[in-house]
Amino acid sequence: MRYRKCSGPFIWSRSLHRSAPLHVAVVGCGQIANSHIKAWRNVGASVVAVCDKNASLAESTGEKWGIPHRYFDVFQMVKGERLDVASVCTPANVRLAVVKPLVENGINVMIEKPFAMSVAEAEKIVALKNKYGVKLTVVHNWLFSLIMKKTLRSLERKELGELLGVELDILHTKEDPMTADSSHWSHSIEAGRFGENLPHSIYIIRAILGEVRVRHFSGSKLGSYPWMPIDELRVLLEDTKGRTASIYISFNSVRHETTLKVFGTKGVLDVNLSNNIFIKKKFRAVNVTQVVKDDLRFLTDYINSCCSITFAILTKRYQNMHTEFIKDFVNSLIRDTEPPVTVEEALEVTKLQTDLCSLIQKKYFSNTEEIFFQYMHAWGAIAGNTPCT
């Protein structure tokens, strides 16, 4: 284990008027850490340290990315490094324990979603941020994709007229790494894999409709993983005006894909967030001529979307969602302005997330051990074997 000595605690200067790159550490070396490291390097930051209580994981991540300092304890990392920012990529159930020593030492923090697994813990993190005056943000990365930014601009210009409702579909295959791994931390939290995934849906819908509440939810099991009591979920949310937003999450799809439909009095937006396709639909009469014209307009929008994202990637005007998010966070550090996602907004997302996950947990996950046992016997019967008990 290597430590870099410093003369005393380093308190980051908010003005950031310096030529040296930001010094960043990544805490938690799971799969998502790779996205953070790559994104920080894309914006010119220097990732000087990684930290994980799993020593082999910290060492392998540091070796993979050529990061010189690897730590197995966040307190030792804080003592040994002069850090401007830390990316927290740990499992959500240890957020406060990791964030606290960082904030107390004047280090700005970027937290991978979910923000926290309880409202009480999220509120403690908000209080720490306010007490020590650091910048703290939570990664709501899907809001920062090229196509999502275009969607939100369209809605701000009221191109759809008055909003009527939203549909959001999130499809995963059964081979999804988190889903297929029964030991993954997401299966140990309330609502399991859905508890990890739902914040995406919630913050997207809040960005469009604002404050929403749970109106209805329904889950079912179509797949075969015994550690997942349900693998299909539908949720209906409602805002203060009675407008609804539906969420469909599946872990049985043939492909990974996220699609968004926004309905308004003057049109419909049909957005493929995975393929960066943006199609705007307006009124048309129900006759052959109008349908053909409509199809040609769709084709034009499709081609324009393909050309736009290809050009943006080739010219490096757009790289990926994490990079775009971090760009905005760095600008907030330089200009001493609000971060791209405030902790107050992240707290509101957490409140709805925990309410919904608690309901799902109570209805579908309360007898997980019994369900697991039943499925293991079912698997044994299918394979012609008797499972171990």
pLDDT per residue rounded down to tens, the chain (389 residues): 322 323 223 333 333 444 579 999 999 999 999 999 999 999 999 999 999 999 999 999 999 999 999 999 999 999 999 999 999 999 988 999 999 999 999 999 999 999 998 999 999 999 999 999 999 999 999 999 999 999 999 999 999 999 999 999 999 999 999 999 999 999 999 999 999 999 999 999 999 999 999 999 999 999 999 999 999 999 999 999 999 999 999 999 999 999 999 999 999 999 999 999 999 999 988 889 989 998 999 999 999 999 988 998 888 888 899 999 999 999 999 999 999 999 999 999 999 999 999 999 999 998 754 544 444 444 444 333 333 32
Domain end, chosen from 296, 319, 342, is at 319
In a domain, 384, yes or no: no
pLDDT at 17: 44
Domain range enclosing 293: 143-319
CA angle 62–64–70, rounded 5-degree value: 5
Q: Which residues fall within 8 angstroms of residue 313, CB to CB, at 6 or more apart? A: 319
Same domain as 299, residue 158:
yes
What is the three-class DSSP state of 255? coil
pLDDT at 92: 87
pLDDT at 104: 97
Same domain as 87, residue 48:
yes
- CA-CA-CA-CA torsion sign (11, 14, 19, 21): positive
Task: Point out which residues pair with 257 in neighbouring strands.
Answer: 171
pTM for this model (two decimals): 0.87
Number of domains in the chain: 2
User: How are beta strands 244-250 and 232-239 bridged, if at all?
Assistant: antiparallel
Same domain as 201, residue 126:
no
pLDDT at 19: 59
Hunting for tokens 């960066």 — which residue is that?
A: 276
pLDDT at 46: 96
* Assigned token pair, 122: 């999220």
pLDDT at 7: 29
Same domain as 217, residue 118:
no
In a domain, 245, yes or no: yes
Domain end, chosen from 134, 167, 202, is at 134
In a domain, 382, yes or no: no
pLDDT at 382: 39
Domain end, chosen from 134, 166, 194, is at 134
